[in-house]
Amino acid sequence: MPGNRTNDSTKEITMKVAVWSLVVLLIILHQDVWLWDDATLVGGIVPMGLFYHACISLAAGITWFLAIKFAWPVDDAAVATTHKPGKGGGA
Amino acid sequence: MTSAIIIGIYLSMLLCLGLFSSRLFSGSGKDFQLAGHSIGPVMLLMSLFGTTMTAFALIGSTGEAWQNGIGVYGKMASASGIVHSLCFFLVGVKVWKLGHKYGYTTQIEFFRDRLESRNIALLLFPILVAMVIVYILAGILGAGTVVNVFTTGAFPEMFPGNPAVPPSVGAIPPHVGSLIICGVVLVYVFFGGMRGTAWANTFQTIAFMVLGVLTFFVIAKGLGKGSMIENMQAASAAVKTTWTTRTGVSQSEFLTYMLIPLSVGMFPHLFQHWLTAKSANSFKLSVVAHPIFIMLVWLPCIMLGVWATTDIATSIVKPLARLSHEVAGDQNKVLPMLVKGLSGDVLGGFLAAGVLAAIMSSLDSQFLCVGTMFTNDIAKQYFTKGEMTDRQTVFWTRTFVILVVAVTYGFSLLNPRGVFSLGVWCFSGFSSLFPLIFAALYWKRLTKTGAYACVIAAAGTWGWLFWLAMNWAGEEKGRTLSEYLIHLPVGGNVYELMPVTGMILASTIALVAGSLVSKPLSNATLEKFFPAES
């Protein structure tokens, strides 16, 4: 159905834009100037700046999960082999 | 002696693994160099993670946290969690697709086709090999230090050492330790090829992650007489704020440090690992889990590094007090000393094996990669007219692997500067070439001239900045090469930038300008790499 196809395509583009926006946001949040001098110890153990960046690592994992779910660039089934096996590549 | 025996057993297990994996070797060149494209998601994750985590990640991060505080986590670990996965996603998957389609094994084979330039190897090969060798050197030096520290007192008659330098008494000297590690890695790479390397990487990645977390808790428990949590709280409270904040790091330096993990996009050994994947979907687990795995390894190392600066740690681990922040190389001894000082001999041996696992899981890929590059990009192209039987391919790859190990080990005897300093400069060099791989995959207008200009500009700025850094480190006593920064005056302020910023800027400008002033590549090449449907 053409209508459904258009809707799917719009949704796909929206999700891709959302995922890449999250990546950009992650890069901006990584530059946490607001915690630069904060010597608070989270739980009395982990310095605030370190705790924040550990959270950034976890957020990166979540963001990349969304990326593989909604913006994966390659369809395995569409990849064909054209080289001769055992010959190596190149010119 | 117990630690030495455990390290010996661990190394023997690796040798067995390498020899066993060789039983599955089909005899083909592709099987030796790419494990027959048979690597699934879990082994790919372990291989990629094990390969990117080196002496630099364990010993270097702990040492850098001891030297400069927690800022190193944001500069390297969380930044890598974002940028490495970005590279796997944008570069790795696409490289796999093209490599699978056209049969590439090395970066140069890809660039030769993509740029219509048979001789790109003559420019790119020496640069890539030189940088991989610097990278390997960092691993070999780190391995020598670990073996030295963990075998202290094991062989008093064979290695009497110097009583004024405590880790040396009865310990296997660093150059002998490095030789042993090189020998073990060489054997399993020689017999197992890429399959042996992938198996060993998986085994070693599990080993260093489990043992690394265990190290952390054992050391935390040993830092006092209270419960583990109480000890950790007491140690953290004793750390001066210089180490628990980023007051010693400028915001512009922190920002530009994020360019360094781009190096992953141009590591030739990762390029080869990407091509071992069974399918594009095999990458998905690596993309997601990589940032979390980095956190699991780095977070404990950083905490250990800052705790090592406290009186609590130095009163329990006496040798720590003899280390100086002013002596280049002392920071590399922090983790081995903590482990040795705060765990029993048995656990100390296991933990040493874990640290060595991290180092060896990078060395193996690098040895195999350089051997493959020599075979495919030089021997095959210039000495056998593009043709090589499977037997010849395996023979030449093995021969070059041995040569690379021998030459690099020889360089390590010259005792170059600290692991971390070498790592940062090496990574910066690879990062400066990132625009080349990115443009090759996504910019149709890239030309041969643009690519050559990019490589020359990257190499030129790297050489110039490294020379400036050497002079600077010579004048500033106690400073390391990794601390050298570019100072950019703008509107009355001076911004500190990582040297990699200048390198990437120069290589990108050269790439774009060189491409735009030269003739576009043929339609046949553009259709090959940018087919209409994608």
State the Cα–Cα distance between residues B442 and B85, nearest whole angstrom: 18
pLDDT score recorded for residue B416: 63
B254-281 pLDDT tens trace: 999 999 999 999 999 989 888 888 888 8
- At residue A27, the pLDDT reads 95
Residue B171: per-residue pLDDT = 82
% of chain B surpassing 90 pLDDT: 40
B-chain residues within 8 Å CB-CB of A73? 89-90, 93-94
Q: How many domains does chain B have?
A: 1
Domain that holds residue A52: 11-72
Cα–Cα separations (whole angstroms), residue B427 to B36, B157, B392, B408, B470 = 29, 41, 33, 18, 17
Report CA Rg, chain A.
21
Question: In this structure, is residue A78 part of a structural domain?
Answer: no
Is the pLDDT at B447 greater than 90? The verdict is yes
Mean pLDDT, rounded, for B102-106: 89
Q: Which among A19, A31, A35, A50 is the top mutation candidate for probing chain B, defined by the most B β-carbons within 10 Å of its own β-carbon?
A: A50
Q: Per the domain annotation, does B73 fall within a domain?
A: yes
In a domain, A20, yes or no: yes
Q: Is residue A39 part of a domain?
A: yes
Neighbouring-strand partners of residue B464: none
Structure tokens at B47: 């291989």
Inter-chain touch A50–B29, beta carbons under 8 Å: no
For residue B73, the chain A residues in CB contact (below 8 A) are 50, 53-54
Query: With 60 as the cut, is the pLDDT of residue A83 above it?
Result: no
Classify residue B188: in a domain, yes or no.
yes
pLDDT score of B83: 96
Tell which A residues from 57 to 76 touch B, by Cβ distance under 8 Å: 57-58, 60-61, 64-65, 67-68, 72-76
Q: Which of A39, A57, A87 sits opposite B78 (nearest CB)?
A: A57
For B152-187, the DSSP string reads TTT-TTT----TTSGGGTTSPPHHHHHHHHHHHHHH
Residue B78, pLDDT above cutoff 60? yes
The verdict on residue A3 lying in a domain is no
Residue B428: inside a domain, yes or no? Answer: no
**Residue B164 is part of a domain; what is its CATH number?**
1.20.1730.10
Tens of pLDDT, residues A48-69:
999 999 999 999 999 999 999 9
Taking contacts as CB-CB distances below 8 angstroms, the residues of chain A near B255 are: 31
pLDDT interval class at A87 (50, 70, 90): very low
Structure letter (DSSP) for residue B520: P
Burial class (CB in 10 A: 0-12, 13-18, 19+), B50: buried
Determine, for residues B291 and A32 on separate chains, whether the beta-carbon distance falls below 8 Å: no
Q: How many domains does chain A have?
A: 1
Residue from the list A72, A78, A89 with its beta carbon closest to the beta carbon of B104: A89
Asked if residue B114 is part of any domain, the answer here is: yes
Residue B525, pLDDT above cutoff 70: yes
Report if residue A32 sits inside a domain: yes
What mean pLDDT value characterizes chain B? 87
Is residue B287 within 8 angstroms of chain A, CB to CB? yes
Asked if residue B531 belongs to a domain, the reply is no
Chain A contact for B299 (CB, 8 A cutoff): yes
Whether residue A66 contacts residue B89, with contact meaning beta carbons closer than 8 Å, is answered with no
CA dist B500 to B70, B124, B290, B484, Å? 21, 19, 23, 11
Distance CA(B332)–CA(B54), nearest Å, equals: 13
Q: Is B231 a member of any domain?
A: yes
Residues in B touching A19 (Cβ below 8 Å):
none
Choice among A39-53, B165-179, B302-316, B369-383 with the minimum mean pLDDT = B165-179
Sorted by sequence, the CB contacts under 8 Å of residue B47 that are 6+ apart come out as B39, B197, B198, B201, B202, B205, B273, B276, B365
Task: Return the pLDDT at B361.
Answer: 82
pTM exceeds 0.90, yes or no: no
- The verdict on residue A6 lying in a domain is no
- pLDDT at res. B327: 77
Averaged pLDDT, B453-482: 87
Q: Is there a domain that residue A86 lies in?
A: no
The tens digit of pLDDT for each residue in B181-237 reads 999 888 888 888 888 888 888 888 888 788 878 888 888 888 888 899 999 999 999
d(CA A70, nearest CA chain B) in Å: 12
Q: Quick one: pLDDT at residue B421?
A: 66
Q: How far is CA B181 from the centre of its chain?
A: 16
Residue B462 is assigned to a structural domain of this protein = no
Range of the domain at B183: 2-21+30-414
Is A35 a domain residue? yes
Residue B369's closest CA among B107, B71, B48? B107
Please judge whether A74 and B280 are an interchain contact, meaning their C-beta atoms are less than 8 angstroms apart. Answer: yes
A contact residues 6-65, partner B, Cβ 8 Å cutoff:
23, 26-27, 30-33, 36-39, 41, 43-47, 49-50, 53-54, 56-58, 60-61, 64-65
